[in-house]
Amino acid sequence: MNRKLSGMLGLAVRAGKAAVGEQKAMEVARSGRAELLMLAKDAAAHTEKRFQNISDFRKIPLISVGDRFAMGSAVGREIAVVLAITDIHFAEQIKLLAQAQEG
């Protein structure tokens, strides 16, 4: 995960615009407040399936970036497998940075 993307994730968390962890992210997604779901590339298959299902059902974009340690480091934790971004502006910037990282 590049430094810009990592910094943007950390900023979203510090601003209170992100839910970190499976349970919190699922609650935010189910409530309709999630603008973007992020999943670590090394997430368990059942976790990936659960969040793909909620993404499809609620029409929330889902992207996979980095591994659980990179995502955790970005948000000030040891590991993080799932994030839900609740602010549309953060979500758009994060999607752009994630696309730039891939390409």
Domain count for the chain: 1
Report pLDDT for 1.
82
Strands 62-64 and 36-39: parallel
For residues 30-44, average pLDDT:
97
C-alpha to C-alpha distance for 74 and 71, rounded to whole angstroms: 5
Quick one: pLDDT band at residue 101, thresholds 50, 70, 90?
A: confident
First and final C-alpha spacing in the chain: 13
CATH number at residue 81: 3.30.1330.30
pLDDT higher than threshold 80 for residue 102: no
pLDDT higher than threshold 80 for residue 38: yes
Residue 19, domain extent = 3-102
Other CB atoms closer than 10 Å to residue 103's CB: what's the count?
Answer: 5
Structure tokens of 7?
């910094």
Structure tokens of 32?
């309709």
Structure tokens of 41?
């590339």
Question: Shortest CA distance to 26 belongs to which of 81, 93, 71?
Answer: 81
